[in-house]
Each structure stands twice: as C-alpha cells, then as structure tokens.
Copies of this chain bind each other. A is one copy, B any other.
C-alpha cells in the first residue's frame, strides 16, 4: 500500500493524549491522506486543531472504521475493549493506548526502539505500553543486551498530566487555593497533590501493589521478551505538571561499569544521556516536557552488589509515554508494510 493512501482515525481525539497525537501527526508530517478524529457523541461535531485548520470530530460508532487503515485509540479501556476488535475485524490496524489489550497474548506490546519485530505477528490490535514502562525499557533494553538484567528496583516521580487534563487543572487549582489561604479542593486524587507526594497511582490490587506498579512488572517482561527480568516498583505521584522521573536500580549478570553504561546509552535509539553532575547536568521533568527523547543521567555503579547500576530516567509522559510511541508504532507498521490484518477472525 502506498503510504499516501493511508487513512488514520484518532479515537479519543478530544482528550489530552488524543490532542497530543494530532499535534505529533502534524509535526512528523505523518503520511496520511485523511485524519479522522473520533470521540463520544458528546464531542461529535466539535472541532479539533490540525495543521493550522480544524477537523470536525465524528462520533465513534461501529461504522467508524470503514475505509480506515490505522486507528490510534486513546479513549479509555472500556472503549478500547468494545471498539478495537470491531475495527480489527473490519481490517483496520488498531494501535491502542489503553491497558485493555496490553497483556493479551494476541496483541503485541511494542516500543519501537525495543521490540519492533513483535509487530510482524500482529492480528489487528497492537498495544501501546504504560507511560512509566515505556521510558524505563527504552533505557534498559540496550543495557540488557550488554549485560543481561536480572533485577530492577524502580521508584517513580510521576506528573499529574498522566491522569489527564482534570488532574492538571486540580494541581493548578490547589496551588491557587493554598496561595489564597483557601482550603484546596480535592476531587481527582483521594488526597491533595499540591506540595505533596502520593504513593498511589491507579487502583490497589490484592497484593497491596497498585495496578501501575504491576504494569511496570508485567509489561517490562512482555516488551523485553524475557520473563526472567524481575521488577519491583513503587509508583508515586508528585506535584509536577509534565514529565515522569524514575530512580532505577538494576542488577546485571555481566558487569557494566558506569562508563560503559554511558557509552552504550549514548548510542541507544531514542535515548539522550545528560550526565555531567559537576556542571549540574542531569535529566529534569521541566526540560523533558515537549521533547521526544528519553533522558538518562546520574549513572552510578552501585557497589552494594557485584553488578549494580543506579540511573535517573526522565521523559515526557504524554509524548514518549503515550502519543509519540503510538505514532512511532504506526510509522513502523508502514515502513514494514504491515498495515493490514491477515486474519480478521483473531479478535472476533
């Protein structure tokens, strides 16, 4: 299929990630002849900005995918559960940003810098990983290739934009309330996020870990294609608008010195090394916001074990953590000539 003939649908076009997707499709001059924004009936008929003009949002229905080659979904788990199989059955390739299909054996879970080859076996639905996981595996993959990672201990510092526009508004509102000597209003999170840290992202599970923490554990294994990588995570929301930070401790089978790690990561796709502490250079959320790269610094050998490293990893959670990775998957599908569903019965 000539790429210029491609029709792309964006399901959930009016949300924070959907809007970011449209922005990135435009920035990267994505080779589509049509971009079709889809949303719930509530938003249908409204306009979304694209390439200096406006596109009219259509209602997402079972008939929305006729003639669509690639559908980028970011409309929540239940919408994806219902509509992604319908799209796939009609021959449209879905790249889904929700958690609905990530651990489904029929759907590859892809970070283009890490496991693009997994796209080859897709059946119409491809899952985009969780934001915290994406930025971690982009950095861990080249180190895994060099020294085989046995164990990862990660603590996150996650921005409110990961929750959506309403959480951005809540942090702003709480700061305003506090600076005006008012009681801050608390709606989106169970507690105040302004000038606070919440060790609580997504819901708690039976094992007392949060769903976010277990996403980092399970998605990492699937993306890296290696069930032997053990991950334990503590995920924390911090009062930052854009950009997730992560403190990552790894143990490898083969020794990797800090210097070797820097050299490996310097060459790694999608990674930018910012590691000159003497000049106060290290990755920070405020600098990662709006950028495509995943930034890594504070690379130090951990001498409490034989083969240990500490890393500090930061990325824009709405871009590499969501919209950008989704579009990179779509680009990879095009360049590998995989924009078709060979067996439309897999998700039937």
Contacts and interface: CB of A to CB of B under 8 A. Distances in A.
Contact of A238 (B191, B197, B297): B197
A234 B247 contact: yes
Interface stretch (A40-48, A61-69, A202-210): A202-210
A298 B258 CA distance: 31
Contact of A277 (B152, B208, B298, B305): B208
Interface string A268-281: 00000000011010
A249 B250 CA distance: 13
A208 B247 contact: no
Nearest to A239: B239
A236 B156 CA distance: 11
B196 A258 contact: no
Interface stretch (A138-146, A282-290, A317-325): A282-290
A340 interface: no
Given A155-B234, A232-B303, 6 more contacts: A179-B179, A196-B284, A197-B245, A197-B284, A198-B284, A249-B249
Interface of A is mostly: mixed
Contacts of A155: 155, 234, 247
A23 interface: no
B196 A285 contact: yes
Contacts of A249: 153, 232, 234, 249
A192 interface: yes
Contacts of A175: 175, 179
Contacts of A245: 197, 199, 236
A234 B298 contact: yes
A241 interface: yes
Contacts of A210: 277
B286 A195 contact: yes
B200 A277 contact: yes
